[in-house]
Structure 1
Amino acid sequence: MTLPQLLATGLLALAGLASAAPITIKDDRGASVTLPDTPRRIVSLLPSLTETVCELGDCAKLVGVDRFSDFPASVRALPKLGGLDDTGVEALVALKPDVVLLGVSARVIDRLEALGVKVIALEPRSMADVQRVLGKVAQVLGKPDDARRIWNRIDGAISFSAQQLPPAARTLSVYYEVDAAPYAAGRASFIGEILDRLGAKNIVPPELGPFPKLNPEFVVRADPQLIMVGQRSAGGLPQRPGWAGIRAVKDKKICVWVPAESDVLVRPGPRMGEAAALMARCLRQAAAGPVPLPTTPFNAPAGGMR
């Protein structure tokens, strides 16, 4: 073997040793999880985590996802393993994942760990959480520099949307409904923080938490100028007691998100720049007059809603 060949062989061996270095992650439960190597087979049970893995360039490592993960399009062909409350454990274990990424509230965590499956639980709620989770997933994948690049792009896109808004769009009071219970996006949530960046006045104060369940009378008293709501919850909104008198309802300033838009808006991950652009479009429309309703009818996806 020639000297260059020996050197090349040595470099390859060193690279192999480097890639085999154990990775230890402290997840959002406070648990320390050690992986023997960069994982090659990953299961993701949260859409935002699925999108994060793909944005980091490792979509090909995903071998299974939750039923709601549908972006990018390539993940739609992967085995669907249920949701937070009904994960198909046997099907998941049969995929032999090196690690499972999921939310802290997933009921399946203890059972998977009892079966010897490596689990990393991550729960992004605020923008700081999203940046942190992006960094942790990048650490798992061995791509910390990519996390910084992606976060800078997200942050820059939000700033760009804010800069394009006219002054009239920055003074509107907003109620953002995430579920018809009603659950709202408070100022402490990533949605609320994007609204703050855009200059909107969220009627739900930070002390109520990220996604509080509200008494509907709270919204009536707050009298928002603009309502943002998903299409599946929008139909009966004006008929709620007292809501016909809310300024947003009287002035027809209700932005109704079609399902594909709702997915972008409620997933705390790489598409937050796109979410900011959607909210900025809504604010511009409301500042100009009544907001047009979507022309596409709402159809619940197969498997039900989140």
Structure 2
Amino acid sequence: MIERLWRGLLLLAFAAPAAAVDIRDDLGQLTTLPAPAQRIVSLLPSLTETVCELGACPRLVGVDRYSNFPASVNALPKLGGLDDTNVELIAALKPDVVLLAVSSRVSDRLRALGLRVVALEPRSYRDVQRVLGVIGQVLGVPDAQRVWRHIEAGVAAAASSVPPAARGLRVYYEVSNGIWAAGTSSFMGETLARLGTGNIIPAELGPFPKINPEYVVKANPGLIMVGQRGADGLPQRPGWDRIDAVRRNRICVFKPEEGDILSRPGPRMAEAAQIMARCLREKAS
């Protein structure tokens, strides 16, 4: 009799529905998930990587064209980018939730189709920690902050590897030719600060400002970080031969795969810090 009662209680426990979760996103929109999401569309690489780092890669049913890590996501339907998101295909995938950037232009259209949408766009360390918690709620993962602790430990390890000669060095990080820079208030700028360097782009210019090339010449950075596509012809830009970093060949050129790691505010930020630290060791010692 007692054994039968215990079996009944266990069955009730396992049959109990999961509690609904209210998610407040970065647009201030409130979305209610009746249960942890099992079918997820992610339209931002950093969010895709976060879902996978939290052990939920198998729940992804579609991603944006730039999501390429881990390798398993390359087999998923590619749903376009910011300007050409395939809304019809997203709807056909019947996701429980769509994760996308605040800057995405399809939020309202997706909501009009009855889809649950969570807009998240981490731009700083604090944002990354917060977004980890939100995605943990979406997935029903109780200790999402374990990933943040791993990031913090990895960044600290990278900082400890930077030689004294590199500390205080003023850096210019070109995110995209055009020219767009990583400012002090960006997550890239925060990583540089944690590594003990300076940044020629002050916080008041914003996280990723478009700047005049002459600004860089006047600021005269001691080291330049740039992606492979933006490196061609950089020393030949008007007046740039006067920049200390150019004269002393203190220019770190990152491969495309390294650029992906460096530009995504998510689980691989510790790896990004290691890439920057290696640059500082090689060029500033």
| Global fold match (TM > 0.5) | yes
Moved over 3 A (4+): 2-6
Q: Deviations over 1:79-105 (max 9, x none)?
A: 000011111111111100000000001
Q: Deviations over 1:198-220 (max 9, x none)?
A: 00111111111111111111100
Task: Give the partner amino acid of 1:151.
Answer: W
Shift of 1:15: 3.7
Shift of 1:287: 1.3
Could you tell me the TM-score, scaled by structure 2's length? 0.97
Residue 4 of structure 1 corresponds to which residue in structure 2? 3
Residue 153 of structure 2 corresponds to which residue in structure 1? 156
* SS in structure 2 at match of 1:176: strand
* SS in structure 1 at match of 2:114: coil
Instruction: Tell me how far apart the structure 1 counterparts of residues 82 and 6 of structure 2 sit (CA, whole Å).
Output: 50
Residue 65 of structure 1 corresponds to which residue in structure 2? 63
Which of 166, 177, 189 matches 2:163?
Answer: 166
Which of 250, 255, 267 matches 1:258?
Answer: 255
Q: Cα distance 1:94–1:237, how it changes in 2: closer, same or farther (>3 A)?
A: same
Instruction: Tell me how far apart the structure 2 counterparts of residues 258 and 128 of structure 1 sit (CA, whole Å).
Output: 27
Q: Deviations over 1:44-90 (max 9, x none)?
A: 00000000000000000000000000100111100000011111111
Instruction: Tell me how far apart the structure 2 counterparts of residues 5 and 260 of structure 1 sit (CA, whole Å).
Output: 58
Q: What are the within-5 Å matches in structure 2 for residues 21-170 of structure 1?
A: 21-145=19-143, 147-170=144-167
Task: Give the partner amino acid of 2:173.
Answer: Y
* SS in structure 2 at match of 1:174: strand
Q: Which runs of 5+ in 1 are unaligned?
A: 289-306
* SS in structure 1 at match of 2:209: coil
Instruction: Tell me how far apart the structure 1 counterparts of residues 5 and 49 of structure 2 sit (CA, whole Å).
Output: 41
Shift of 1:142: 1.1
Task: Give the partner amino acid of 2:142.
Answer: P
Instruction: Tell me how far apart the structure 2 counterparts of residues 231 and 68 of structure 1 sit (CA, whole Å).
Output: 17
Q: Cα distance 1:224–1:75, how it changes in 2: closer, same or farther (>3 A)?
A: same
Shift of 1:35: 0.9
Number of residues paired by the alignment? 285
* SS in structure 2 at match of 1:144: coil
* SS in structure 1 at match of 2:172: strand
For the 8 Å contact 1:81–1:92, the answer to whether it is kept is yes
Instruction: Tell me how far apart the structure 1 counterparts of residues 131 and 119 of structure 2 sit (CA, whole Å).
Output: 10
Residue 304 of structure 1 corresponds to which residue in structure 2? none
1:14 aligns with 2:51: no
Could you tell me the TM-score, scaled by structure 1's length? 0.91
Q: Cα distance 1:16–1:198, how it changes in 2: closer, same or farther (>3 A)?
A: farther
Shift of 1:7: 2.1
Task: Give the partner amino acid of 1:11.
Answer: L
Instruction: Tell me how far apart the structure 2 counterparts of residues 241 and 72 of structure 1 sit (CA, whole Å).
Output: 40
Q: Cα distance 1:174–1:35, how it changes in 2: closer, same or farther (>3 A)?
A: same
Task: Give the partner amino acid of 2:140.
Answer: G
Task: Give the partner amino acid of 1:232.
Answer: R
* SS in structure 2 at match of 1:85: coil
Shift of 1:18: 4.8
Instruction: Tell me how far apart the structure 1 counterparts of residues 241 and 14 of structure 2 sit (CA, whole Å).
Output: 66
* SS in structure 1 at match of 2:115: coil
Task: Give the partner amino acid of 1:91.
Answer: L
Q: Cα distance 1:36–1:236, how it changes in 2: closer, same or farther (>3 A)?
A: same
Q: Between the two proteins, what is the percent identity of the paired residues?
A: 63
Task: Give the partner amino acid of 2:238.
Answer: P
Residue 297 of structure 1 corresponds to which residue in structure 2? none
1:214 aligns with 2:211: yes
1:192 aligns with 2:189: yes
1:226 aligns with 2:213: no
Worse-superposed segment, 3-12 or 236-245: 3-12
Residue 293 of structure 1 corresponds to which residue in structure 2? none
For the 8 Å contact 1:85–1:108, the answer to whether it is kept is no
Shift of 1:4: 3.4
1:287 aligns with 2:284: yes
Residue 235 of structure 1 corresponds to which residue in structure 2? 232
